[in-house]
Amino acid sequence: MRRILTLCAAALAALCCAAQTPAPRAITWSADYIPGIRDYYGQPEVFWTNLGQAVHFDGRGDGVFLDGVPVAGMEAFTLELVFRQDGDAAFEQRFLHIGTMDKRILFETRVNPDKTWYFDAFVNLGTPEATPDNPHPARLSAVLIDEKLTHPADRWYTLTLTASKDGLVSYVDGVEQCRSEMPWQPLVNEGFTSVGVRQNLVCWFKGDILKLRVTPRVLEPSEFLQDHKALNGD
C-alpha cells in the first residue's frame, strides 16, 4: 500500500540520499535515507516493492529537491537510476536534474502513444572561457537520444550514463543506446539535485523511482545494477 510523503522528517527520509560534500566516493540513493531536503512539491507516494521502498510521482506536481551535486569533483563516473515509466505519461518526462540550469546532467524519457519510451540523457558543461586561440568558444553539450530505441513502459529498468575524458555513453539495462565523444569535465558542488521534475518545474515525471547510484569510475555493463530483473520477476 502506498503512503503519502508528509513534511515530517521521517517521511521525507524515505526518498533518497543526497551528498552534502563533493567527495569522490560511491553514493547510493535509496528510499530509506535522505540527509538534505531543499524543497518538495506535491505528494510523492512511498510504496513497497520486493526490493524495499520506492517512490511514485504523479506526473502533475510531485517532485523533491535535494541539496548537493553527487557527481561533483568526479573525474569519471557511472550514474545509474532504477525506474519505472508509466505508459500514460506526457510525452516529455524529465525526472533527474543534477547541477544548475547552466551546467547540468539530465535524465529524461520521451513517451510514445503506443506506451513505449526512449531514453534521453543530456549533459551541458557550459561555455568555456574565451582564449586568444578560441575567442568564441562553443557551448560544451551532448544529447544522447535515439527515438528508434524504444522500450515498453510499465516495467522496471536501469538507466545508466558513464562519463570520462573519453566521452559519454548511455545504456538501458546494460545495453548501449548512444555515445558522445565530448570529454567529461568535473562539476563543482554548485546547484542541487531535483528528482521527479526539471529544476525549473517543467515536464513532471509520472512513474516510480527505486534507487540511484553514483560510482566515481566507469563501470563495465556487467557491474551495473540489476535490480530491474528482480522487480520484474525475471
Measured between alpha carbons, how far is 68 from 219 in angstroms, rounded to an integer?
23
C-alpha neighbours within 13 Å on the C-beta side of residue 218: 13
Q: Which phi and psi angles does 200 have, rounded to 5°?
A: -90, 20
DSSP state of 115: S
Percent of the chain exceeding pLDDT 70 equals 84
What pLDDT sits at residue 118? 98
What pLDDT sits at residue 2? 46
For the segment 190-204, the average pLDDT, to the nearest whole number, is 95
pLDDT bracket for residue 221 (50, 70, 90): very high
| pLDDT at 8 > cutoff 60 | no
Lowest mean pLDDT among 63-67, 131-135, 141-145: 131-135
* C-alpha torsion sign, points 49, 53, 55, 56: positive
Contacts for 151 with CB less than 8 Å, ≥ 6 apart: 116, 117, 118, 119, 157, 172
What pLDDT sits at residue 10? 37
Measured between alpha carbons, how far is 57 from 195 in angstroms, rounded to an integer?
9
Per the confidence metrics, is the pTM higher than 0.85?
Answer: yes
Measured between alpha carbons, how far is 155 from 98 in angstroms, rounded to an integer?
24
| pLDDT at 20 > cutoff 60 | no
Residue found under cell 562519463:
163
Domains and CATH numbers, the chain: 36-124+156-232 (2.60.120.200)
What pLDDT sits at residue 141? 95
pLDDT digits (tens, 9 = 90+) for 97-123: 999 999 999 999 999 999 999 999 999
What pLDDT sits at residue 202? 95
pLDDT digits (tens, 9 = 90+) for 199-211: 999 999 999 999 9
